[in-house]
Amino acid sequence: MKATGCYVVTLAFLAFMLGCPHIRAWGIDGHLTICKIAQSRLSKAAEAAVKGLLPAQAEGDLGSMCSWADRVRFRYHWSAPLHFINTPHLCSFKYSRDCKDADGVADRCVAGAVNNYTSQLLGHGRGASESDYNQTEALLFLSHFMGDIHQPLHVSFADDKGGNTIDVRWYRRKSVLHHVWDADIIETAEERYYDSAPDGLIEAIQQNITSKWQDEVEKWESCGRNKTACPDVYASEGIQAACQWAYKGVRENSVLEDDYFLSRLPVIYKRLAQGGVRLASVLNRIFE
């Protein structure tokens, strides 16, 4: 059976997830794509460090662990607000205003999490003892959250829970707008163009990175002086894409078909590309 969205791991998990409508995460293939692209761009030092931190079951493949953070979100209850950012009904992101959880605790959002796990990993091999932080978990969280922050509806309006409360039809199926961006668009592209598997999609995005977007890549990677990661930039782009593309023209019970799919797919490709390129550049800076 093909893995679709978050809804795979075990039956119990499936039941739990279905009972919980406000799930927020790129689907498994979105995260896989970002981590595969990232791993192919790692420096030798970063590749060695990443392989050293990955658990044995990953067999050196970061992509296989990139949805781990979604699988543990119910065990690590505290981690649930770290997958997204809620903004007021505005097409802008402001860290001091928006990066907090539902109780108002500062830094508990995906931008704060990217900063936090980046600094935990920067401690790696520089005096922080193994017991200070779990560096394997820090790597898996960072790799996942660098993906989430690039999903436009993970930096989006609080009042509709990032599109989770907007019911739509994706062609003939029932869906919600958030899930359209997590998984439906990617899965439809895979079904139509890539034999229902992620490999061809990943390859197509990688080819664009070295051709169509070649001149933009350096800008995606750069983060300003002395900065290892710049989640404020990624989040600002995210909310803008949410307004310009994800929410645009969509109402409760909208039927989304080819017009929406064909115009939004390039946006998804670019966000996946940026997520992968940037995850690599952050890991390369951490483990230089």
Q: Kindly list the residues in this chain that would bind Zn ion in the complex (CB under 5 A).
A: 25, 83, 148
> CB-wise, 47 or 160, nearer to Zn ion?
160
Residue nearest to Zn ion (CB): 25
Q: Take residue 226 and report the two structure tokens written for it.
A: 């002395």
Shortest spacing between CB 148 and Zn ion, in angstroms = 4
Shortest distance in whole angstroms from residue 44 CB to Zn ion: 29
Name the minimum Å distance from CB 85 to Zn ion.
12
Nearer to Zn ion, 49 or 111 (CB): 111
CA-to-CA dists, residue 124 to 40, 64, 88, angstroms:
22, 22, 36
Contacts of 12 (CB under 8 A, 6+ apart): none
DSSP-derived pairing of the beta strands 85-87 and 155-157: parallel
276 touches 63 (CB < 8 A)? no
Separation between Cα atoms, residue 268 and residue 150, nearest integer Å: 9
C-alpha closest to that of 180 among 90, 248, 85:
248
Best CA proximity match to 266, nearest among 237, 239, 245, 240: 245
Chain center to CA of 25: 7
In total, the chain counts a number of residues equal to 288
- Minimum CB–partner distance for residue 216 and Zn ion (Å): 25
Compare residues 128 and 158 and give the one whose CB is closer to Zn ion: 158
- CB nearer Zn ion, residue 38 or residue 49: 38
37 or 113, CB closer to Zn ion?
113
CB of 145 to Zn ion, least distance (A): 7
- How near is the Cβ of 130 to Zn ion at its closest, in Å? 26
Decide whether 83 or 124 has the Cβ nearer to Zn ion.
83
| CA gyration radius, the chain | 18
36 burial level (CB within 10 Å; 0-12, 13-18, 19+) = buried
